[in-house]
Amino acid sequence: MSLISPQARDALAHWLETQKSLKGASENTIKAYSADTADFISFMTSYKREPQGLAALARITTRDMRAWMAQTRGDDVGARSLARKLSSVKNFYRWLAEREGFEPTAVLTIRAPKFQKKLPRPLAVEAAKAMIETVEYQTVHTWVAARDSAVLTLLYGCGLRISEALGLTGADVPLPTALRILGKGGKERVVPVLPAAREAIKAYLNICPYPLEPNAPLFRGIRGGALNPRAVQSVMAKARMQLGLPATATPHAMRHSFATHLLSAGGDLRSIQELLGHSSLSTTQAYTAVDTARLMEVYERAHPKA
């Protein structure tokens, strides 16, 4: 942040703290906000050849914004990443403009570049089941095999994010029939826990060499510490090679599969939204957009004019 003035640095730090404490932004989101906005202010300092204090930031023009976007694209930054950076800068400016009392129109009216959204690629039902079974054969340790199977069962059976599954502790055991999960942005949701998931956890705990402690992680690494998400990604990579599945067969794909298979089985989008913990229904639609065949079937059967 050497190219950022003390005033701008202080404002950025205050904004980030606000996003974390009041908005419940995750650590990854805070890091992205910090890097994106700091890069933007550093560019403006170099571009305008003067320190960018709060008054200078309030005078940013549409031309300045286009110069920054052109430079960023020139650095081989893709449209998707540039859109994310612009979103960070806009969020910062909304907060700064309200605090400092200036009009942020020049920043907020800049349009993000268009890009093709990548649709999720869920596994087929049989492939999801095969993945859970196959991860057990990637280790010589029986308890590790049971652990990996239990983790994937939670991802697929409950629609958990990998961070949510690995965030469970001994205090969550035995798993209830409905589990309270604190997800992104501090959003709490309740997800049903299938008997298969409870049984998988029980089987893992019966042979886990480490004691079950209320404040300790439920899923342990080989040395007893918290299980690293990369370990789950790695074991899935080995399993998908054996099964001939594409590189998109990741831990997050199990969550995609949970949503899409529920929709295929007759679940409604609003209920699936609640189970996934999405704030916006459009996000849930993206998860299930791959199942357009079933949506057309429902439309043709139910629409009065069909």
Which residue numbers are catalytic?
Answer: 161, 184, 252, 255, 278, 287
Residue from 249, 226, 227 nearest 238 by CA: 249
Pair of tokens at residue 233: 């990604």
Instruction: Write the DSSP symbol of residue 210.
Output: S
- As given in the structure block, the two tokens for residue 18 are 């606000």
Distance, in Å, from the CA atom of 172 to the CA atom of 179, rounded to the nearest integer, reads: 8
Which residues are CB-neighbours of 183 under 8 A, at least 6 positions away? 161, 164, 189, 277
Distance of CA 17 to the CA centre of its chain: 20
- Could you please report the per-residue DSSP string of 81-124? HHHHHHHHHHHHHHHHHHHHT---HHHHTPPPPP--PPPP-PPP
Residue 156: phi and psi, rounded to 5, are -80, -40
Q: How far apart are CA 233 and CA 155, in angstroms?
A: 12
* Contacting residues for 149 by C-beta, under 8 A, at least 6 apart: 132, 133, 135, 136, 200, 203, 204
Cis, bond preceding 217 (omega within 30 deg of 0) = no
C-alpha 152/C-alpha 233 separation (Å) is 11
CB neighbours of residue 30 within 10 Å: 15
